Chains A and B, each alone.
Chain A
Amino acid sequence: MSNIVLETKKLTKYFYDPIQFQVLKAIDMSINHGEFVSIVGKSGCGKSTLLYLLSTMDTDYEGQLYIHDELITGKPDKELAQIRNEKIGFVFQFHYLLAEYSVLKNVMLPGMKLGKLSEKEIEHNAMEHLRTLDMEDQALKMPNQLSGGQKQRVAIARALINNPLIIMGDEPTGNLDKKNSDLVFDIFNKLTEENKQTLLIVTHDTDFAQRTQRTITMEDGKII
C-alpha cells in the first residue's frame, strides 16, 4: 500500500448563491502517512470549504478525492458515513459535543457506531485517550460543565477513538488562549511523533503553522 493517505485531483467547487462563484480552483494535493500538515491562508480563501470536501461531508464538487488510493468521489451517503466513522477524525473550531451524553459517552459514541469492539473495550480505550489528554478525572461530567479548552480536548479524544487514518481540524485552537492552544498543539505533535498519526489542521495561528512539518498556503481557492 502506498504511503499516501489523502489525495485530491483537480478539486473544484462553486457556490451558486447569490452569484456563481468559484471557491476552489482545481486543487491537487496529497498527504502522506504520519505527516502533520497545516493549511493557512487569508480569511475567505476557501480553507474550511476544502476541509469539508476532504472530510466527505460535502459532496457537491468536481474532481476526485482519494483516501488510501480508494476513489471516494461519488460514493453513496451510507458508505461515506462509514468512511467518516472509521477513517476520519474531525475536530471543529467550536467543540461540538452532544449535550445529552457525558464526556466519556461522547468519546465512546463513534466507537459504538463502528461496533468493532465491545462496549467495555471502547470504554477502556476512551479512558486511555482521556488520560493522555489529562482529562480522565472529567470523564463523568456533562459537556456543559467543562471549560472551552477541556471541551476541545474531549473532541480530540473523540476524533481518536477509532484510530483514524487522518485527523482533520478546522481551527481547533481558534477559540483558545495561548496556553490552551499550545497544549492542543503539543497533543497533536505527540500524536504524530509517538503514533505516526496523520494530521491536517486549518489554522490562522502562524506560530502554530510554523511548528508543523508542512504548511500548505492557500490564496483565492488555489494552493501556492
Chain B
Amino acid sequence: MNFKLILNIAIHLLRARLKQSIVAAVGVTFGIAMFIALVSFMNGLNDLLDGLMLNRTPHVRLYNEIKPSENQPISLSEKYKNDIHFISSVKPKDRGKAIYNSKAIVHFLKQDQRIIDVASKITTPVFFNSGTIEISGVISGIDVTAEEKLFKISDYVIEGNVIDLEQNNSIIIGKGLADKMLLVKGDIIKITTAKGNLASLKIVGISQIGISEIDDTSSYTSLETAQKLLGEATNYITDIQIKLFDISTSPSVAKEFQEKFDLDAIDYQTANSQFETGSSVRSIISYAVGIVLLIVAGFGIYNILNMMIFEKMDSIAILKATGFSGSDVKWIFISLSMIIGLTGGVFGLLFGFAFTVIIDNIPFNTASLPTISTYPINYDPLFYIIGISFAIITTGIAGFFPAMKASKIDPVEIIRGK
C-alpha cells in the first residue's frame, strides 16, 4: 500500500473542509488539555495530601498497647483446655508503655536491609500550665536527627530551629497551643506530667502542621528531656518508628515485627486507609472527566467524517473506479481522522501543559499548609503519554466506522446515480 499517496489524498480532502476539521481538532484539543490539567492538578493535590501524612507517619510503628493479656491463667491450664471459659471483669494489665529492650531492638532494626532508618520516640500526655488554667496536651520526645531525616519536621517549624531541641530543657510547641497560652519563642512553659512531676521548659520554636487538632495539643522535645521529665532511665522509649524503602511491604513487615518482638505494630496503610480512598477517588474523577471530554470530541470527529464522506461520494467513486481498493479508501479516512486527532492531541498537550503551569503559579496560601505557596501540580510525563494515547484511540475509533462505510461505497451506484 502506498501510504504516502493515501496521506496526500487525506490531506487534500481535509483541506477542502478545513473549518470543520479545525473545529473537530479543537474538540480533541480541549478534551486533552482539560484531561492534562485536571490529572496534573488532582495528582499534585494527592501528592500534597499523601506527603502531608506520609512524611509525618512512619511506615511501621512499634509500640505497646494497653490491653488485657491475651492468655488468661485459665487458658494455660491443661485441665480445662477443652472447656469454654467465661471470665468476667477482666482488666487490662499495666505493662507500661515502655518498650523493653528497646536499644537491642533498635540496633537490630538498623541492620535490616529493607529499612531506611529507625527513629525512637516517647509520647506522653502532659498538662501545660498557664496561670491558673491547665491545658492537656502531648509531648513527643524525639531523636532529633533521626526524626529530621525521616519526617523532615523542620518543614513544620515556623519559628526557631529544630536543632535547638538538643539543648537541655527546650521545647517546641504547636502554634495553636502558643496562641492559646499567649506564648512566644523564648518564653518558659510549665509542664505537669501524668505522674505529677513538674518542669519548666524553654520554648525554642513554634511548629505548625496544618491540622488544628495536632497544632493545639502537640509539642516536641528531645528524648533525653522527655526521659528526665518522666523520671525514666535513658533506655525508656514508647515508640519505634520505621521507614521502609518499599512502602507497599509495610503490612507484612509490621506483622513480622509484631511477632518477632512481641509488640504491637501498625502499618502505614492501616493507619491512613481513609487517605488512600480519597486519593483514588480523586484519580478516578479526573480520568472519568478526561475520558468523557474525549468521547465528546470523538463524536465530533465521527460527525465531520460522516459529513465528509457524504459530500465526497463522487470522489470516492472515482478513486475506486481508477484503482483504489476498499481498504485504500478506508485508510484514507482513518488517516484523515488520525491527522485531526494527532494535531488536536498535540495542541491539547501543549495547552494542558500551559494550564498546569498557570495553576502552578496561582498563589495558594493557607495557614494549614505552611510549606505550600502555590497550587500543587504533578508534572508526570506519564499523563502526557496517556493523554496522547487517549487522543489516538478515540479518534481511531471515531474514524474507523465512517471509514468502513466509505470503503463499502459501491462506485457503480454513485456513477449510475448521476
Residues of chain A at the chain B interface (Cβ within 8 Å) = 48, 52, 55, 57-58, 77-78, 80-82, 84-86, 90, 92-94, 96-101, 109-110, 112-115, 158, 170
Contact = CB atoms under 8 A, between A and B. Distances in A.
B148 to A, nearest CB: 69
B5 A57 contact: no
Contact of A96 (B5, B327, B415): B415
Contacts of A97: 318
A61 to B, nearest CB: 11
Contact of B322 (A52, A93, A158, A170): A158
Residue of B2, B318, B323, B415 most packed against chain A (CB within 10 A) = B323
B29 to A, nearest CB: 25
Interface in B312-349: 314-315, 317-328
A97 B416 CA distance: 16
A92 B415 contact: yes
B182 interface: no
B121 to A, nearest CB: 75
B321 A84 contact: yes
Given A78-B327, A98-B315, A58 B322 contact: no
A93 B412 contact: no
B323 A98 contact: no
A21 B394 CA distance: 45
Interface of B: 2, 5, 12-13, 15-16, 314-315, 317-328, 411-412, 415-416, 418
A109 B2 CA distance: 12
Given A93-B418, A112-B2, A99 B317 contact: no
Residue of A48, A55, A96, A115 most packed against chain B (CB within 10 A) = A96
B332 to A, nearest CB: 12
Contacts of A85: 322-324
B321 A57 contact: yes
Contacts of B415: 52, 57, 92, 96, 170
Contacts of B320: 57, 81, 84
A11 B13 CA distance: 38
B167 to A, nearest CB: 83
A78 B418 contact: no
Residue of B12, B325, B418 most packed against chain A (CB within 10 A) = B325
List 8 tightest A-B contacts by C-beta distance, closest first: A85-B323, A81-B325, A100-B12, A110-B322, A96-B318, A84-B323, A78-B325, A52-B412
Contacts of B315: 98-100
A115 B2 contact: yes
A82 B323 CA distance: 6
Given A57-B411, A84-B321, A85-B323, 17 more contacts: A55-B321, A57-B320, A77-B327, A81-B324, A86-B323, A93-B418, A96-B314, A96-B321, A96-B415, A98-B12, A98-B319, A100-B12, A100-B15, A112-B2, A113-B2, A113-B5, A113-B323
